[in-house]
Amino acid sequence: SLPVDAIKVASDKHPKPSDVRYQYGTAGFRTLGKLLDSVLFRVGILAALRSKRLDGKTIGVMVTASHNPEPDNGVKLVDPRGEMLEASWEAHATTLSNASTTDAFIEALETLVQTAKIDLSKPARVVYARDTRPSGPSLVNALEDGFKAIGAEARDAGVTTTPILHYFVRAINTKGTPYSYGEDSEEGYFTKLGQALKKLVAGRPPVSPLLIDCANGVGAIAAKTLAAHLGDTLPIVLENTAITTEGALNNACGADFVKTSQKLPPSLSNVLKPGQRACSLDGDADRLIYFYLDERGSFHMLDGDKIAGLVAAFIVEQVKIAGLEEQVKVGVVQTAYANGASTKYLQERLPVKCVPTGVKHLHHAAERYDVGVYFEANGHGTVLFSDDTQATLRDYQPSTPAQSRALENLVSLTELINQTVGDALSDMLLVETVLSHKSYTGVEWDSLYVDLPNRLVKVVVSDRNSFKTEDAERRLVSPPGLQSKIDGLVNRYQGGRSFVRPSGTEDVVRVYAEANIRTQADELAFRVAGLVY
Ligand code: 16G
Ligand code: ZN
């Protein structure tokens, strides 16, 4: 049975604030760090129960609020294969977090143990980490109180990136099996990535230094270690590495700033040279956006869609050269936010699927392909190689040197890519690999297709839950009548496309619009926003 007494004593030290309602959303729990103490304590217990339910497999817990402002924090659970928590447990997390008293919490736990058929005699194992936010240490203490109260075997992974924590979870759970994902240590992670990159670019000409905007977050620590592992293979210059400066995290820098403002972080204006490749990580290093300045000093952004285009085309090419076209089918997954020009570019080359926003939707859709490439426009994404495909690559007998090289490249890609979740550093090495193979500069990569001008605006409404969507969020079914008004507006704009959806992370409704020319995209966005308001 549950150690009710221990849980009671500990729970009383982490009371739920009476005026807050929590929700486990697209990115786990996320709000002001100072409101999360009770949530972290309860998540500690929930993670242990999830582990027991899965026969003692290790569950991950990541304390981060990603690209959000520094005072925010959050927490999310990672399932045994390194993936996002199974959807049905999101509701359990929400229920537990909202129990108003210790007694109500214990009651909710007992209900969960019964409905989810949890065998309490099973062991509970967890691994946890946090990003660099100032509220992190005390929230981790609350989490540890939860682990202790239920008697979980807990491993502290310290301060690290979200994707490294996902890697750890998979590595721990596959240790000693034929599917081993690598050493369950940071050293193991960096060695795996470094060796794969070296194989992929062996014999290719040296490249000029890549500038990395680390968002003044945990990515700065990881990127520094990575740079040391890469040596001359990839020269790296780190910027925005002030992880202890109060207020610096994600402030006017990082992947979300670059993507939403479509601007160079001001801190880089005297550093970045025209033509130099640069990229931004977000606050937990699971998003990546590239950019460069042209000869005239104008800013050009290469977002998640551009990364998908570059990477998918390269993989298709390598599969073809290897002579594996028939056995290995490559597909791409996007969301409605993908630029229309990217969708067109990709559809001319391979199957493309559109799914609702959120990593879990993209990840699951990508699992249906032999090789599934998924990227959100915001720079979050990865590539999944199915177990069958990995076996095909292992067993295949190439008949020419060219086939053999392409096969080796594909195998190295399975090592280079963090297949558990989007990983800015792993994705960055992937991009660098393709640029090296194609001898592309940023300009050449950028010219694969021309982005349609687009605008994203947010609208504060009285009840965002009254907005319901269908067709992968591209159409509204509620409020009634609104979609036909949007259609009416869209039809008046050349190349017009627009959609409205409730945010899963903020109390707002988002409006996206694109059109053939900038002023029209802006006008369409603001007129649709006017309908919503
Ligand atoms: C989170 C998600 C991201 C999604 C975004 C949508 C993860 C790691 N990230 O950042 O995939 O695009 O939320 O936010 O799950 P929204 O619903 O507020 O537009
Ligand atoms: Zn992130």
Instruction: Say if CB 482 and CB 531 are below 8 A apart.
Output: yes
Residues with CB under 5 A from ligand 2 (ion): 66, 282, 284, 286
Domain 454-532 has CATH 3.30.300.30: no
Is 304-421 the same fold as 187-302?
yes
**66 tagged catalytic:** yes
**Domain ranges, ordered by start, for the chain:** 4-159, 187-302, 304-421, 454-532
pLDDT band at 506 (very low <50, low <70, confident <90, very high): confident
- Ligand 2: distance of its center to the CA of 372 in Å? 21
In whole angstroms, what separates CA 32 from the centre of its chain? Answer: 21
CA-to-CA separations, 199 to 195, 203, 409, 479, in angstroms, rounded? 6, 9, 8, 54
Backbone angles phi, psi at 61, to 5 degrees: -130, 120
Q: Calculate ∠ Cα 123-127-131, nearest 5°.
A: 155
Q: What is the CATH number of domain 187-302?
A: 3.40.120.10
Residue 96 Cβ < 6 Å to ligand 1: no
What CA–CA distance (Å, rounded) separates 59 from 366? 22
What CA–CA distance (Å, rounded) separates 298 from 293? 5
Q: In the numeric block, which tokens belong to residue 106?
A: 């214990």
Q: In the numeric block, which tokens belong to residue 380?
A: 């979050």
- Ligand 2: distance of its center to the CA of 489 in Å? 34
Name every residue whose Cβ is closer than 8 Å to that of residue 194 and which is 6 or more positions away in sequence. Answer: 226, 229, 230, 233
Residue 502 CA: which ligand 1 atom is closest? Answer: 17
Name every residue whose Cβ is closer than 8 Å to that of residue 64 and which is 6 or more positions away in sequence. Answer: 73, 74, 75, 76, 130, 131, 133, 162, 218, 283, 284
Q: Probe ligand 1: pick from 334, 378, 499, max atoms within 8 Å of CB?
A: 378
Residue of 11, 51, 66, 498 marked catalytic: 66
* Residue 507, pLDDT score: 87
What would the pLDDT profile of 21-75 be if each residue is shown by its tens digit?
999 998 999 999 999 999 999 999 999 999 999 999 999 999 999 999 999 999 9
Strand pairing class (278-281; 236-239): unpaired
Instruction: Say if CB 24 and CB 33 are below 8 A apart.
Output: no
- Ligand 1: distance of its center to the CA of 372 in Å? 19
- Ligand 2: distance of its center to the CA of 42 in Å? 23
Supply the residue whose CA is at minimum distance from atom 3 of ligand 1.
Answer: 358
Q: What is the CATH number of domain 4-159?
A: 3.40.120.10
What CA–CA distance (Å, rounded) separates 114 from 107? 11
Q: What is the CATH number of domain 304-421?
A: 3.40.120.10
CA-to-CA separations, 497 to 262, 344, 403, 524, in angstroms, rounded? 19, 14, 42, 9
Instruction: Say if CB 58 and CB 172 are below 8 A apart.
Output: yes
* Residue 533, pLDDT score: 86
What would the pLDDT profile of 205-233 be if each residue is shown by its tens digit?
999 999 999 999 999 999 999 999 999 99
Cross-strand bridge partners of residue 457 = 511
Q: Give me the residue label for tokens 């009371």.
A: 15
What would the pLDDT profile of 328-365 be if each residue is shown by its tens digit?
999 999 999 999 999 999 999 999 999 999 999 999 99
pLDDT band at 505 (very low <50, low <70, confident <90, very high): confident
